[in-house]
Amino acid sequence: MKNNWWEIESRISVDTPFLAVYKNRVLDNIATLLLGVAQDVDKLRPHVKTHKMGEVLNLFKNVGIKKVKCATIAEAELSAIHNMDDILLAYQLTGEKQNRWIQLIQNYPESVFSTVVDSSDIAEQLSNLAVKNNLILNLYVDLNTGMDRTGFDYKEDWETLVLKIVAFPNISFLGVHIYDGHIKGTVRERTEKAAEIFHPINEKVKNLEKNMARKLKIVAGGSNTFPFYSQINNVECSPGTFVFWDTNYQLQLPEQQFVPAAVVVATVISKPTAKTLCIDLGYKAVASENALDKRILILNDKSLIPISHSEEHLVLENTGQNTYAIGDIMYTLPYHICPTCNLYDTAQIVNEESYINGQWSIEARKRKINF
């Protein structure tokens, strides 16, 4: 196996910075995901937010995965364009998004769409739109399990909210949605916290199933709690970052066997002092919401330390013995791959022989595709 897996063979003719995706490593990550659920694809509803690419959706379909979760209408439309059977938008629809949602459903009848609510007012608005357009809209209740970003507090009486939703015309209530990105720590700590939250929710779901005389779905978790939910029957898991992985999850989730499959390639453009060099990797080219030491890892040489970052420049201090020239290529592993991917229109695809042999469009980075 090649030691420096990230190195691209021959002269790079693509202008930097660019996103490089290593297809074989993506395939390895999908295979690892399947192992995590004992090849039971029905348990999987991977999130589209990381890659936003139709070609990745096609790779999912090749192994039988045809359910996905999305965060934007563009991601949902991309999924429909690529014939995913079951598309969940885990984002409560307000304002014009509601009308766009109706258009999406009307224009892609082969896919089943659903979304989440945490408010009876929004559920009623969607019900009115459904009646007006002669549609049945599928809804989940979004539960806040401690992240305090969205959702109805899971410790409160969310069953009453469910009963209100069920009473609205032209609404089909499917189940509950849980995202618990706030759960951190060791495998044991994450498992214990997820179990503490999940079990009372599951008991309420079982009671609702008895009262409604039908099965309900639970869509739960992300990368951090995937190992826990992957072992529970009747729960759909929604990891997303697994497809490309990144430095953050390598550090925070060391037990998971996914491998980095995307890097940002940059060029040395200046050597302003004897011990520093500047590369063309500004914060318009890599996610920069974290502190400077948690934005990228220089794969070429871990002695190169970021000391300054601006819109088009990243200055590195050379604390080691290697020397670099202007024009040298740098391979960098993003700390957070999801928003990094969103900064590019395309990804250059690297094959098993380490050559660039095509590109994939990051189509759903758009705010809108057609609807």
- Cα distance between the two ends of the chain: 45
- For residues 351 and 348, what is the distance between their CA atoms, to the nearest angstrom? 10
What pLDDT does 137 receive?
Answer: 98
Q: List the one residue out of 237, 245, 147, 139 whose CA is nearest residue 197.
A: 147
What pLDDT does 10 receive?
Answer: 81
User: ω into residue 254 within 30 of 0, thus cis?
Assistant: no
Superfamily of segment(s) 24-242: Alanine racemase (3.20.20.10)
What pLDDT does 62 receive?
Answer: 98
Q: Which long-range contacts (CB under 8 A, 24 or more apart) does 147-153 make?
A: 147/179, 147/180, 147/181, 147/182, 148/182, 149/179, 150/92, 150/118, 151/118, 151/177, 151/179, 152/118, 152/119
Q: Which two tokens stand for residue 105?
A: 């459903």
pTM for this entry: 0.96
- For residues 147 and 54, what is the distance between their CA atoms, to the nearest angstrom? 30
- What stretch of H or E contains 56? helix 54-62
The domain ranges of the chain are 24-242, 258-365
- For residues 218 and 225, what is the distance between their CA atoms, to the nearest angstrom? 14
Give residue 328's Cα distance to chain centre: 32
What pLDDT does 60 receive?
Answer: 98
Q: Which two tokens stand for residue 205?
A: 């779901």
What pLDDT does 306 receive?
Answer: 97
What pLDDT does 12 receive?
Answer: 86
Contact (CB, 8 A) for 50 and 240: yes
The residue ranges of the chain whose pLDDT is under 70 are 1-2
Give residue 163's Cα distance to chain centre: 31
Give residue 160's Cα distance to chain centre: 31
- Helix (H) and strand (E) counts for the chain? 10, 17
Q: Which residues contact 339 (CB under 8 A, 6 or more apart)?
A: 287, 289
- What stretch of H or E contains 244? none
Per CATH, the number for 258-365 is 2.40.37.20
Q: List the one residue out of 252, 249, 335, 257 whose CA is nearest residue 25.
A: 257
Contact (CB, 8 A) for 250 and 260: yes
DSSP calls for 253-278: -TTS-----EEEEEEEEEEEETTEEE
- Which residue type does 164 have? K
